Each structure stands twice: as C-alpha cells, then as structure tokens.
Amino acid sequence: MTNLKFLLLFFLAISIIAETTIFSFPFVVIFSLFLFVLFPQFSIMAFIFISGIILDSLKSETVGATSLFLFLVFVILSIYQRVFNLKDLYVLLFFVLISSIIYANLFNYGINIFIYMAFFGIIFFIVKYIGKNTP
Amino acid sequence: MKKPQFITLIIFLFLSAIIFLNNSFPPFSFLIGISQNIFSFPKNIIYKSKTNTSQEQSVIIKKLVADNRKLTEKLIEFERLKKDNEALRSQFEISEIIPSRLLPVKIVGFLGSGSLPQVLVIDSGKKDGIKKGMAVISGKNIVGKIDKVLENFSQVILSNNKKFSTLANVSGSNITGVIKGEGDFILLDKVIISDNLSKEDVVVTKGDISSEGFGIPQDLIIGKIKSINKVSTSSFQTAEIESMISIPDLKTVFILIN
C-alpha cells in the first residue's frame, strides 16, 4: 500500500506540469480523489492542497479554485461515506468520473466524453482485474 | 471518516476559500510569482517539444499555407490603403492605424483539446504590464485576448472560446457582424439578412478599444468564411469562420500593449 501511495503521489506531481502543457485532462483531480479515499491523512491532504495551488498558478487561473473544488468534493465524499458507508470501488470510480467532468467543464478543459469513457473504462478494467487476482 | 480528519478537511477548505478570495493580497501574489518562476523553464521545454512533434505537415504544404496567409495579409493591407485613400479624398475620416507597442511572449501551456485549444497560457503577466482585454496577435491575425493575469503568467482566450466576442466586418465591404466563439468553431453572427456573404470572404476585426487605450484594433484577420447559414424568414444570417492560423503550432505570439 505504501508503494501505491508513493506511485499516486508521483503521478500527481507529474500531472501538475503535464496537465497544462501536454494533455488537457483533469489528472490532478483524479489522482487527488484516489489519494484522498485510499490515504486520508493530513500529509496527503496538505500535498493535494499545495498541488492545487501550484496547478492554478501555472494555468493562470484564480489561485485557490482547484483546491476549493477538490476539498468541496472531499467534504461531500466524506459525508456520503458516513451516511452510506461507501466501500464499493465502482461507486467511487463513478464519483471520480462525475467530479472530473464537472471540473473540466468549469475550467475550460474541453469535454470529450469518449476520452473520459475510454480512460475510466481502462481504470474500471484494472480495478476489476486487481480485485479478481487479489486474495 | 474520523472526526479529526473531517476537521482537517474543513480547515483546508477554509484556507482554499481565503486564498481564492484574496488573490491580489501581496504575500499570496509573491508566492504565486515564485511558483510560476520555478515551473516556467520546464513548462517552456515541454511545450516546445510538444509543438515540434505535432508538426506533421510536409514542407511543401507548410509553405503553401504560409504563402496563403501572407497573401491574405497583403489583401487586407490593400483594402486598408484603399479605405485610407477614399477617406482622405472625402475628408470625412482618417482610418489610420495607431502605432502600437508589441510584446513578444512565449506560449507555455494550453487548455482544451490538443488540436483545438480554448485557452493558451503565456509566460508574461502583471510584471510585464499585461492587462485583461489586451489583444493577442500572430502576424496580422488575431489569436485572442487576455483574460486572466497573474504575476508571471497570463491566460489568453482564443477566438473559438465561448467567452470571446468582438465586432467584425467582411474585408472590402460594409458588411458588419459579431464574432463569437462557439468552442469548436468561430461564428460570425448578427449579419443582416440582406447582406451578401460569400465563401472565402475574409473577416477582419472592426475595432474594440477600451478607454484605457488597449483592446482589439481594427483590420486584424479573424479568418475566412467556410459556410453560410441563411434562413429567409430570419432577420439575421450567420457564417462559420475558419481561422487561418494553426494554434497548436504557435510557440510565440505578440500582445498589443497600447
């Protein structure tokens, strides 16, 4: 699990530059959501907060907008987890998909639904494969 | 989720809201400037390598596209000189172009699809005198206008962005309209139904200068008419405009400072 944490943190760090330079896709939102659900620790939340600030400054967006969006989603997610005892990874994937589409729509990323479906389809397949092979 | 973690969440949410509402507060601006300075170089390198790999057109086609663009620019210049000539003869108005200061800036990022971006991120900001509303050009073509300005970076909304609009007219005629970005294309709207639009007509800016002395000047090329939508029962007709510049291939653009 520690390896997974560092892997997600690494991808989040890379996404900060890649997102506004190579691919216009909300990778920061996606990796932040996965990190928050799997490792809801203070250090992870602080890393996500700083990542959001840096991403906004590199996009020349109003700084704080991404962090505000992310932590609002985290609050909604944690309330949902409390009320419905969310453990199903597929529901989480759906939540991540909807959040990333809303974020992309709000911040001029351009929404290509097919790319989103393909990306989340791959993640769904990976999760299902890992779930089958994990004892 | 445990209560202390939930409280941490609320604290970070509160901090984000404070920063979001107080971007112009000097300590925040200073920190934003530092992070932009740190990441400016790698962003530059990565964006340059991206634009180099996306150039798939052959040399001949590229030359033809460039020649086409130059000829269109000469055509616009010719139309402007003709207008000046007529104005001087009539002594009613002078359509002189006010000398402008051009600031070259590098593109370091984009938002939107790779083939048709909506926003460009440039490596100049408040410290270079950039202000919201300034026109961004490439040659004699309008690229877009400045939307958001931070210390070292700024956002340029492109002419196909839904937030972009300006007055326009068809070069060589009195036909006027409004240019609006529609995401996937540029729309020439509010053209009177009785006006005769033709495919391949060049559409230029009519001019939209603010009281501070900057904005979009006249006679900048927006694009060529690709298709026309004319319904006889409507008061206005519209046309789809195709830009003459390839945004993904741009590395440097110019900002009209005044």
Note the Cα B136 to chain centre separation in Å: 5
Cβ-Cβ contacts under 8 Å, A23 against chain B: 114
**pLDDT at residue B94 is higher than 50:** no
Q: Does A103 reach chain B within 8 Å, measured CB to CB?
A: no
Report A:54-83 residues touching B (Cβ under 8 A): 54, 57-65, 67-68, 70-72, 74-75, 78, 81-82
**pLDDT at residue A37 is higher than 90:** no
What are the structure tokens assigned to B163, written together? 């937030």
Q: Which residues, other chains included, contact B7 with Cβ-Cβ below 8 Å and sequence gap of 6+?
A: none
Average pLDDT over residues B208-232: 88
Tell me the per-residue pLDDT of B173-197, one tens digit each, with 9 for 90 and over: 889 999 999 988 999 999 999 888 9
Phi, psi of A31 (to 5 degrees): -65, -35
Q: Which chain B residue shows the shortest CA-CA distance from A17?
A: B43
Tell me, what's the pLDDT at B99? Answer: 53
Is A23 in Cβ contact with B9 (below 8 Å)?
no
Note the Cα B258 to chain centre separation in Å: 16
What is the ipTM score, two decimals?
0.85
Name the β-bridge partners of B228.
Answer: B239
State the average pLDDT for chain A: 83
The pTM is what?
0.79
Tell me, what's the pLDDT at A48? Answer: 94
DSSP code string of B119-174: EEEES--GGGT--TT-EEEETTEEEEEEEEE-SS-EEEEETTSTT-EEEEEETTS-
Closest partner CB to A62 (pick from B1, B23, B183): B23
Question: What percent of chain A shows pLDDT beyond 90?
Answer: 23
What are the structure tokens assigned to B29, written together? 């601006």
Say what the alpha-carbon torsion angle B95, B99, B103, B104 is, to the nearest 10 degrees.
70
Q: How many Cβ atoms from other residues are within 10 Å of residue B66's Cβ?
A: 11
What are the structure tokens assigned to B14, written together? 């509160």
**Mutate: best of B2, B16, B105, B108, partner A, most A CBs <10 A:** B16
Amino acid (one-letter) located at B84: D
Tell me, what's the pLDDT at A111? Answer: 67
State the average pLDDT for chain B: 85
pLDDT band at residue B62 under the 50/70/90 scheme: confident
What are the structure tokens assigned to B84, written together? 């000046």
| Burial per residue of A73-106, b for 16 or more beta-carbon CB atoms within 10 angstroms, e otherwise | bbbebbeeeeeeeeeebeebbebbbebbbebbee
Is B155 in Cβ contact with A58 (below 8 Å)?
no
Amino acid (one-letter) located at A92: L
Residues in chain B: 258
Average pLDDT over residues B38-48: 82
